[in-house]
Amino acid sequence: MKDETLSMIPIPRISEKGFESWEELSALLVSDSPLDFKQSWLPKPESHFMPGSVFLGHDSNFLFGYAILKDQSIFNAASQKGDKTWEMGDLFEIFIQREDQSNYGEFHITPENFHLSLSLPPLESRQGISIDELLQRYWIELPEFTSRVWIEPEQQQWRVVWKLPWAIFGEGKPCSFQWKIAFCRYDYGEKGRAPVLSSVSPLTQCSFHCPHEWLLFSLNSIL
């Protein structure tokens, strides 16, 4: 597990003119090296665990991603600022921290394509802050964060492709930095069942806010 955490994973560069639609972008991102969801903090996955995979690419302006999420009951009722997306249904989450920063970004996408964007200080510096206050204090308006979602009940899955701007993390060329990134999800099922949590990162506990356990990425600068 330690080796997986420390291994550097390159994110391929894609042409900034290589796609004209969300469908083309998702097809461009698919590779034979997916990041697969797991529950690494457990001896074996829960009985209701559903698989999923993430594929990545980048250019000088954006991190691009495409996730395929198996799901038998696809829903999320979140629709407005302040909604606790993780309590309201299925959810795909992106966590990103630039190597030279202590703050990190948390970005949510629901099956209905509702977004939540947060710029968070380290966990220890926000002890005692309520969830409602946290959502108000650290919420950010980020119109450049865009996505497309496909809900496919016949295949028991939903798919999401997104663009996240590097500029939110400050100045400097993105390829000059290393990046800690985690992709996580909440998978709700029938009414009354607790959500199944999973992540592509080798977490040692069921907590997504552990940057030291996120995967480490570099950005290829050559096409």
Instruction: Please classify residue 113 by burial: count the beta carbons closer than 10 Å to its beta carbon, then call 0-12 exposed, 13-18 middle and 19+ buried.
Output: middle
**CA distance linking residue 108 with residue 142, whole number of Å:** 12
Whole-number pLDDT of residue 17: 74
pTM as predicted: 0.94
How does 64-100 read in b/e, with b if 16+ C-beta sit within 10 Å?
Answer: bbbbbbebeebebebeeeebebbebbbbbbbbbbbee
- The model's pLDDT over 21-72, given as tens digits with 9 standing for 90+, comes to 999 999 999 999 999 999 999 999 999 999 999 999 999 999 999 999 999 9
Q: Specify the residue for token string 């979140």.
A: 78
Which token pair is 190? 């029938």
Task: Name the fold adopted by 2-17+25-153+171-219.
Answer: Immunoglobulin-like (2.60.40)
- The model's pLDDT over 84-140, given as tens digits with 9 standing for 90+, comes to 999 999 999 999 999 999 999 999 999 999 999 999 999 888 888 999 999 999 999
**CA distance linking residue 86 with residue 159, whole number of Å:** 18
**Domain coordinates in residue numbering, the chain:** 2-17+25-153+171-219
Phi/psi of residue 124, nearest 5 degrees: -65, -25
